[in-house]
């Protein structure tokens, strides 16, 4: 067995250059220090791979110490024993180091962002870019994705939470998770530090949208019909149509005349405007059609049913409905989104089929397996339900009759096999 560790630090320090020639001082096990005529001293490792003598450099002494050179020698000898070529391993390490240096969080995040752009609404894209620029890039931009740890990521998220921006923290972590998943899928990293932070975020007590109860409807409809708050005509009609259709306020504000089929008395909201990215059909009651007819007189020449007062090519402001409710005396008692809860609560209490209600609310199916098989639209039943709802809602002013509930068949959630 050949001797190893034959050199010592003092000897390495004292080796002097010779004019016009270099010489080698061996430490054993293939490791030697080559002293150049210039005075530079290089660590080399000589080994045999596939019956071929080869050499690799471990660096310059004393930047690479004697102890470190021995560590590198022992690692290289183990590689040879395992059938690997240390020179190839070193080249691959350099390649990966260069690749990792270019695969920074910012570079990968912007690549991921660019791939997602076509599927996002303009507002979503702007919000996502702002989050990257404001929340994540200041701390992570130049960090290679392979070197970012869970602890480092948690520190970034905790700083956002410290501002009490809990929703921003939640979205920022979701974005990090998506970026690291993309990096892994494109072979730029092997681990996802964001995945380890599931459940670590602070939570705030859920504040549900304020909504009108059944007993509130007579007074509300009275105020609506008499326009006691002196609302602008388009705003008043928007409020009525929102209550009659109980769509989301963003879906109402973006309504276009091209989305309505008056032969079928349907409003088809395209998938790109829906939260769940699925086209939504709204059967129109006679009362809803009356509201739309009035809107046609006012805004029929516009692209949208509810154009912005100051900039008609844009849609109604997102706060218009809310401020109208304030003027009607419902500050802190109701919101535009709350009409969905009002309709859902009353229809459920009156015994309507839950599937029909949920479909009309355009909610996603909670059961993933059931959702894969349940593509039913229930349009005939929903037409009847929406007309009944309109009769009930507008009739609340007088309360002469109770809503009449048809005995609709309950859908069996269990899959039937042939």
Residue in 112, 49, 44, 60 with CA at minimum distance from that of residue 84: 49
Catalytic, 248? Answer yes
Please give the distance of CA 26 from its chain centroid, rounded to a whole number: 59
The one catalytic residue among 24, 94, 202, 275: 275
Residue in 408, 291, 294, 323 with CA at minimum distance from that of residue 360: 408
Asked if residue 62 has a cis previous peptide bond (ω within 30° of 0), the answer is yes
Residue in 399, 400, 404 with CA at minimum distance from that of residue 216: 399
> For the purposes of burial, counting CB atoms within 10 Å of the CB of 325, is it exposed (0-12), middle (13-18) or buried (19 or more)?
buried
The one catalytic residue among 314, 373, 399, 404: 373
Catalytic, 373? Answer yes
Full strand arrangement of the beta sheet holding 41-49: 23-28, 31-35, 41-49, 52-61
The one catalytic residue among 106, 188, 304, 340: 340
CB 45 within 8 A of CB 58: yes
Catalytic, 378? Answer no
Catalytic, 55? Answer no
Distance (Å) of CA 234 to CA 1, 215, 319, 326, 332: 96, 27, 14, 17, 23
Map tokens 């008395």 to a residue: 265
CB 48 within 8 A of CB 29: no
> For the purposes of burial, counting CB atoms within 10 Å of the CB of 201, is it exposed (0-12), middle (13-18) or buried (19 or more)?
middle
Alpha helices in 230-301 (DSSP H): 233-245, 249-253, 286-299
Catalytic, 327? Answer no
3-state secondary structure of 260: strand
Angle at 253 between CA 250 and CA 258, to 5 degrees: 115
The one catalytic residue among 95, 213, 331, 363: 363
DSSP 309: S
The one catalytic residue among 44, 70, 240, 248: 248
Catalytic, 32? Answer no
CB 401 within 8 A of CB 350: no
DSSP 256: B
The one catalytic residue among 70, 73, 304, 337: 337
Residues with catalytic roles: 248, 275, 337, 340, 363, 373
């Amino acid at each position: 067995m050949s001797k190893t560790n034959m050199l010592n630090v003092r000897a390495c320090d004292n080796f002097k250059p010779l004019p016009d020639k270099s010489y080698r001082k061996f430490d054993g096990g293939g490791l030697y220090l080559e002293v150049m005529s210039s005075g530079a001293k290089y660590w080399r490792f000589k080994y045999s791979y596939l019956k071929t003598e080869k050499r690799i450099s471990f660096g310059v002494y004393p930047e690479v110490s004697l102890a470190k050179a021995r560590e590198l020698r022992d690692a290289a000898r183990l590689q040879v024993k395992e059938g690997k070529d240390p020179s190839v391993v070193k080249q691959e390490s350099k390649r990966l180091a260069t690749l990792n240096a270019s695969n920074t969080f910012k570079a990968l995040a912007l690549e991921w962002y660019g791939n997602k752009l076509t599927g996002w609404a303009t507002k979503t894209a702007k919000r996502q870019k702002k989050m990257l620029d404001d929340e994540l890039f200041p701390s992570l931009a130049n960090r290679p994705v392979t070197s970012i740890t869970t602890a480092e990521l948690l520190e970034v998220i905790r700083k956002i939470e410290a501002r009490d921006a809990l929703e921003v923290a939640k979205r920022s972590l979701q974005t990090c998770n998506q970026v690291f998943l993309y990096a892994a899928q494109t072979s730029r990293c092997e681990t996802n530090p964001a995945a380890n932070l599931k459940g670590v975020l602070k939570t705030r007590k859920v504040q549900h949208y304020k909504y009108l109860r059944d007993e509130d409807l007579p007074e509300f409809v009275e105020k609506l019909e008499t326009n006691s708050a002196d609302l602008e005509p388009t705003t008043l009609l928007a409020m009525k149509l929102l209550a009659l259709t109980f769509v989301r306020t963003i879906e109402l504000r973006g309504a276009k005349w091209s989305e309505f089929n008056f032969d079928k008395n349907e409003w088809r909201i395209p998938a790109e405007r829906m939260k769940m990215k699925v086209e939504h059909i709204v059967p129109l009651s006679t009362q809803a059609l009356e509201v739309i007819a009035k809107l046609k007189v006012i805004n029929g020449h516009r692209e949208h049913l509810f154009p912005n007062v100051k900039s008609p090519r844009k849609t109604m402001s997102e706060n218009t409905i809310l401020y109208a409710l304030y003027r009607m005396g419902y500050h802190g008692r109701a919101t535009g989104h709350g009409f969905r809860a009002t309709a859902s609560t009353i229809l459920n209490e009156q015994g309507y089929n839950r599937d029909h209600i949920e479909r009309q609310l355009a909610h996603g199916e909670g059961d993933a397996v059931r959702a894969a098989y349940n593509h039913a639209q229930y349009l005939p039943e929903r037409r009847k339900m929406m007309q009944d709802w309109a009769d009930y809602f507008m009739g609340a002013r007088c309360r002469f009759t109770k809503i009449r509930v048809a005995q609709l068949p309950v859908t069996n959630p269990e899959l039937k096999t042939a």
